[in-house]
A = this chain, B = another copy of it.
Amino acid sequence: MRCRVYASAVPKLWNDTIESHRREVREAILDAAATLVTEHGLASVTMSQVAERTGIGRATLYKYFSDVRAILVAWHERQVASHLAQLVAVHEQAGASAHRLELMLGTYARISHEEHGSEIVALLHRGEHVTQAYQQLSNLLRNLLAEGAKSGQLRDDVSPDELVIFCLHALSAASSLPSMAAVRRLVSVTMSGLRPPKR
Write the residues of chain A forming the contact surface with B, with a CB cutoff of 8 angstroms.
155, 157-158, 162-163, 165-166, 168-173, 176-177, 182, 185-186, 188-190, 192-195, 197-198
A-B contact pairs, 13 of them (CB 8 A): A163-B189, A165-B173, A166-B170, A166-B173, A169-B169, A169-B170, A170-B170, A170-B173, A170-B190, A189-B194, A192-B194, A192-B195, A192-B197
Name the B residues within 8 Å of A198 (CB-CB): 195, 198
Q: Which residues of B have CB within 8 Å of A157?
A: 185
Of A176, A182, A189, most B-chain CB atoms within 10 Å: A189
- Find chain B residues with CB under 8 A from A190 CB: 166, 170, 193
- Chain B hits for A197, CB < 8 A: 188, 192
Copies of this chain present in the complex amount to: 2
Task: Decide: A193 and B170 in contact? CB cutoff 8 A.
Answer: yes
Cα–Cα distance between A186 and B193 once the two chains are bound (Å): 10
Q: Are A177 and B162 in contact (CB under 8 A)?
A: yes
Q: Once the chains bind, are A186 and B166 in contact (CB under 8 Å)? A: yes
- For A162, A172, A190, A192, which residue has the most chain B Cβ atoms within 10 angstroms? A192
Q: Chain B contacts of A166 at CB under 8 A?
A: 170, 173, 186, 189-190
Do B162 and A182 have beta carbons less than 8 Å apart?
Answer: yes
Give the distance in Å from the alpha carbon of A185 to the alpha carbon of B163 in the complex. Answer: 9
**Known pairs A162-B182, A166-B173. 20 more at Cβ < 8 A?**
A155-B192, A157-B185, A158-B189, A162-B177, A163-B189, A165-B176, A165-B177, A165-B186, A166-B170, A166-B186, A168-B173, A169-B169, A169-B173, A170-B173, A170-B193, A189-B194, A190-B193, A192-B192, A192-B197, A198-B198
